[in-house]
Structure 1
Amino acid sequence: MKQMERTPWADLDGQPRELTAMLLAALEAMGRHPEIRRVRRTAREALRPETGWRLLDAGCGAGDVARRLAGETGGEVVALDVSAATIAAAVERHDGSAVRYAVGDLASIDLPAGSVDGVWCERVLQHVDDADVVIAELIRVTRPGGRVCLIDTDWTSLAFDGVPPALARTVVDDMHGRLTPRRADMGRTLRRRLVGKGLRDVTATPVTCLFPDPASAAVVLPMLNPGVPEDAWTTPPGVRQKWFSHVEAAGARGDFLAVLTIWVVTGAV
């Protein structure tokens, strides 16, 4: 069977240095976006970490969530990511909080069973080869009574208004599997996956992110970011130019709209 092509997000260390730097900057910009911050507030309320809890941030990126959780709880946070470049960036940004950074495979986590009180895993499972294997590891390292919080995108929920629908479909289909993941429905599958693993008190909250202008949307949605290199597009000639022309026109008219649902799913081990 032919192996699926991995997205740049799934293989940051395998990208050219310039692209890695661009992707890390994109991660930081997303973390500052009001809609992503709203998703994170929802997840924080669902996880309900207690004072002194030891937490795992699985797929920590540049570590901004790990540092925030450590500051709020006063406990240690293990910030784990498969990318050495990402962990290096996280270490550079360290603020003295009780965060321990590590490079590691989420499918085989180098932590003892039951060694953390809670897990945060944000927009990671859409990129991994086998989400159920990773989820099993997250559960394994969580103590009985601890909580696992999974946050992920349902890219199939992505919808636009103010631009030609057929053109939008062409662009979105082109992006899936290269700049957005092939497992586009991951967010809405999380509840089923946790229920199937036997977790208790599973809650699922859909957070619909609203982007009322192209500049806001471009921070989170790669098909709206003109900074994405042209060679990342494989649409027929002229489609990219036509797309951005329509997007710009909709922004000028004030009737542009993009919406995307990100799911927050939490359960007790």
Structure 2
Amino acid sequence: MNNCGMEPAQKDRTPFSDIDGLTAQMSEIVLDALTAMGRHPEIRRVRRIAFDALQPAAGQRLLDAGSGNGEVARALAVPVGAQGEILAVDHSSAMTAAAISSHDGSNVRYLTGDAGDLHLPDGHVDGVWCERLLQHVDDADAVIGELIRVTRPGGRICLIDTDWGSLAFDGMPAGLGDMVLGHVHGHFTPQQHDMGRTLRRRLVAAGLRDLTATPVTCFFATPESAAVVLPMVNPDVPESAWATPPGLREEWLACVEAAGASGTFLAVLTIWVVAASTPG
């Protein structure tokens, strides 16, 4: 988110998709990055739209699939109240531990598990939140099928995911951004770069109804704002994490800094919020 509970088999091992496999330094960077993302005004805007689409209500049991540090799960616990319950499931034991350490006493149960193989009964939850998870898995439709299985008839499923193909920059030399993105694609960004735009089609194919699809274009007017969400403009990401030829990272970051200083920097990225109800 994204948030990063993953299936064991991945198309790519981006830093955000295999947290338990990272070095201690990189794990700390990713955990801090996820916390900072959750505080960013544009990610908060995406989540407000998603909350409206999911429509959490008092007494519901909801699943947060790929729950990360648990901040969304704790937010969902507010509208469901004391009679409801949030199941926060993440594939990363490190993320689950971080979520537990930040627990606020709300009605959230933190679990380590695979979103594609949930050990839950059919129809066990009233709704599902799944944020920036599907872009990292091998078979998104299989995971969606599992989320549908554990949701009661008429329950609501809300999928939030990134369309990395929409990522665009302005203020830097023409072609330089494309060159950098060509090298970091599949490293900072997963190979399933168009997941966000495919969510509507996938839910239609799965037979869901009452579908809404909202593209949210996140706008970043400064390098500092963009760096919270886009690792390829963050100078604090260590050189060892990059997949660029010698000198390209430095050239790119220098141009980003110059664009920021001149006030001409711009970055945009679309995140899709797609929600629908299960049949019944």
**Same fold flag (TM > 0.5):** yes
Give the structure 2 partner of residue 79 of structure 1.
Answer: 88
1:69-127 CA-to-partner distances (Å, cap 9, x unmatched) read 00222120000000000000000000000000000011100111101000000001001
2:21 aligned with 1:38: no
Q: Which residue does the alignment assign to 2:3?
A: none
Partner of 1:20: 27
The equivalent residue for 1:237 is: 246
Of stretches 82-91 and 15-24 in structure 1, the one that deviates more from structure 2 is: 15-24
Q: Report the equivalent of 1:170.
A: 179
1:158 Cα deviation from its structure 2 partner: 0.3
1:218-237 matches, within 5 Å, as: 218-237=227-246
Say which of 59, 63, 67 aligns to 2:70.
63
Among residues 156, 167, 173, which one is paired with 1:158 in the alignment? 167
Q: Does 1:10 align with 2:11?
A: no
User: d(CA) in 1 for partners of 2:174 and 2:239?
Assistant: 22
Q: CA deviation at 1:129?
A: 1.5
Is 3-12 or 86-95 further displaced after alignment?
A: 3-12
Q: How does 1:118-157 map to 2 (within 5 A)?
A: 118-157=127-166
Deviation, 1:268, is 0.2
Q: Please report the TM-score for the alignment, with normalisation by the length of structure 1.
A: 0.97
Kindly report which structure 2 residues correspond to 1:188-199, keeping only aligned pairs within 5 A, or say none.
188-199=197-208
> Which deviates the most, 187-196 or 17-26?
17-26
Q: Per-residue deviation at 1:132?
A: 0.7
1:151 is paired with a residue whose SS is: strand
Q: Among 105, 116, 119, which residue is 2:114 paired with? A: 105
2:184–2:244 contact (8 Å) kept in structure 1? no
**Letter of the structure 1 residue corresponding to residue 114 of structure 2:** D
| 2:215 aligned with 1:215 | no
Aligned mates of 1:94, 1:264 — CA distance in 2: 26
Alignment size in residue pairs: 267
Cα distance, 1:11 vs structure 2: 1.2
Q: Secondary structure at the match of 1:177?
A: coil
2:168–2:269 Cα contact (<8 Å) kept: yes
Query: What's the CA shift for 1:4?
Result: 4.5
Contact 2:11 2:136 in 1 (8 A): no
Q: Pairwise CA RMSD of aligned residues? A: 1.0
Q: Secondary structure at the match of 1:41?
A: helix
- The answer (yes or no) to whether the contact 2:11–2:137 under 8 Å persists in 1 is no
Q: Which amino acid aligns with 1:19?
A: M
The 3-state SS of whatever aligns with 2:16 is helix
Partner of residue 4, structure 2? none
Q: In structure 1, how many angstroms separate the alpha carbons of the residues matched to 2:274 and 2:41? A: 20
Q: 2:89·2:110 contact (CA, 8 Å) conserved in 1?
A: yes
- Look up the match of 1:186: 195
Give distance in 2, aligned partners of 1:76 and 1:165.
50
Q: CA deviation at 1:175?
A: 1.4
What is the percent sequence identity of the aligned residues?
65
Normalising by structure 2, what TM-score?
Answer: 0.93
Aligned residues of 2:187 and 2:243 also touching (Cα < 8 A): no
* Partner in structure 1 of residue 102 of structure 2: 93
Secondary structure of 2:175's partner?
Answer: helix
Deviations 1:236-265 (A, max 9, x none): 221111111111111111111000000000
Separation in 2, partners of 1:17, 1:163 = 33
Structure 2: runs of 5 or more not aligned: 1-9
Give the Cα–Cα distance (whole angstroms) in 1 for the partners of residues 170 and 14 of structure 2: 27
Structure 1 position 51, deviation (Å): 1.2
The CA deviation at 1:19 is: 1.0
Structure 1 gap ranges (5+): none
2:34 is matched by which residue type in structure 1?
L
